[in-house]
Structure 1
């Protein structure tokens, strides 16, 4: 059974830059995890493209973080413009739905780490106008907004300002990579649905990047979602598609069926589960979920409705 795919997170923008950061290529066709030649075979596809600001020591020579962020953004916009018959930039859930009806895929811009614009909440409005609809507060390092799942530490005053300004604009807050303290700080002040775009269950696989049951339930209470991350390190030891299903089924048992989505982290990880090589293999995950007892409607919600629903609730 083939389902449309709404994926909340990938690092394809960075991958397409090449320059020893990742592999180069075009969005139409490349040797990574995502390209249009493969994804157009799905019955529908909406992809959130993260503009990721890598740590300074990993930057190419003579490239600043600000330049990297801008180049990733320009790369996504350029690749969409080059393939107008296949994909369009979407600013709203309505545009995603319209694209689906027209047989076109959708691209949504997101922020993974605000270092690329100096962590400045005042710049979020301009970025929203460009098309950014989701933002994390950081990556794996501590910054002026918050601590990470590695460093620990909660939100700063500037971090609180950043969250509230993003939500005022209609930009979705993504808690992936946050410390536990930072997560709960956000839960205290949020006035809109919150997501963990690419995070799994800590009860199934105990790593700090994953969500505790209490965190997942708190996300549910905001009306948000958690996106299943296909990176092997966050799924389990020598994971298979059954392992990925284990995370989803655990969340289902927490009455989270309307709050589970996809966030594959494709092109942002080097090891995927067995028998899963990229976007073309999402139908295999759907089949496995059906085999494990989920209904057609439940799988459809996970693959499409739940992720799209957050954009519909939040993005003006």
Structure 2
């Protein structure tokens, strides 16, 4: 089994705490990741609203540089991967497969040249917005305007399709989501978003969005932020599984994966306090008579399918 977690903020967080990737007090470190036979971890360079206003590209470069330095220090345990073959090579060598992403298209600062250079640095997915409006689109916090992709945003999606990068619609306004669905020529991802029917939060996806994601061939990653899981009680593994069950029942087996949002959330569901607990979730699904094939899809095969299709170079 290859496990894929499509979103964490660990690198950004350890920059702020002064800790190291090999071992830290956060939700993810290499010591815990290495407990798994094969693990693919997306590492996001998070562009906070403060940095989005000024120096967004420089902030992205700083975070990317930190990931590069951590990989160099721990090169026997982790490898930066740019495509599906790189992932297979890393897991075969018993290394963590790292996928570099950016959370917040503010990092482009309105430049397709910046997009292309970030691709050359190894960025393979971009979350187009982080809640708020930027040069690409409106985020979920600005959805009241009805705004979707800007003309520049449509150019960004087209260029990401051409380069072979995953377009990530988590945090994007609903109008922006539909614009991406209509203009992307490749499967897209919602790296860390849940089912709105189960928890009515602006960050979650409607049934119509989930069905469109299915038709597109994309995947959504279950987010472990308690606010996105349930609103009226303490979040637990049971509530996480409710989202998984709902999405599987609605869209089938191929649209669901993991996008924990570890180190980007202040709290976790009971029983899922860190990456060391992911196996607990998968084992619980098996106990509930989920087939081994379906659990493998949720664990990583669905995201791996998109990676293989989209990351061509």
TM range (shorter): over 0.9
Task: Choose which of 243, 247, 250 in structure 2 pairs with 1:254.
Answer: 250
1:141 and 1:120 map into 2 onto residues whose CA distance is 18
2:159 and 2:78 map into 1 onto residues whose CA distance is 30
TM-score by length of 2: 0.95
Partner of 1:65: 56
Runs of 4+ with >3 A deviation: none
Partner of 2:159: 165
User: What SS does the corresponding residue of 2:152 show, helix, strand or coil?
Assistant: helix
Task: Choose which of 179, 184, 189 in structure 1 pairs with 2:183.
Answer: 189
Cα deviation for residue 291 of structure 1 reads 2.2
Cα deviation for residue 71 of structure 1 reads 1.1
Partner of 1:148: 139
Partner of 1:126: 117
1:219 and 1:313 map into 2 onto residues whose CA distance is 15
Matched residues, number? 307
Whether the 8 Å CA contact 2:28–2:275 is kept in 1: the answer is yes
Partner of 2:35: 41
Whether the 8 Å CA contact 1:10–1:265 is kept in 2: the answer is yes
Whether the 8 Å CA contact 2:7–2:191 is kept in 1: the answer is yes
Task: Choose which of 204, 207, 210 in structure 2 pairs with 1:210.
Answer: 204
Task: Choose which of 237, 240, 258 in structure 2 pairs with 1:241.
Answer: 237
2:164 and 2:85 map into 1 onto residues whose CA distance is 15
User: What SS does the corresponding residue of 1:205 show, helix, strand or coil?
Assistant: coil
TM-score by length of 1: 0.94
Partner of 2:298: 302
Task: Determine if the alignment matches structure 1 residue 91 to structure 2 residue 87.
Answer: no
CA RMSD between the two structures = 1.5
1:268 and 1:73 map into 2 onto residues whose CA distance is 17
For structure 1, list consecutive stretches of 5 or more residues without a partner in the other structure: none
Cα deviation for residue 233 of structure 1 reads 0.8
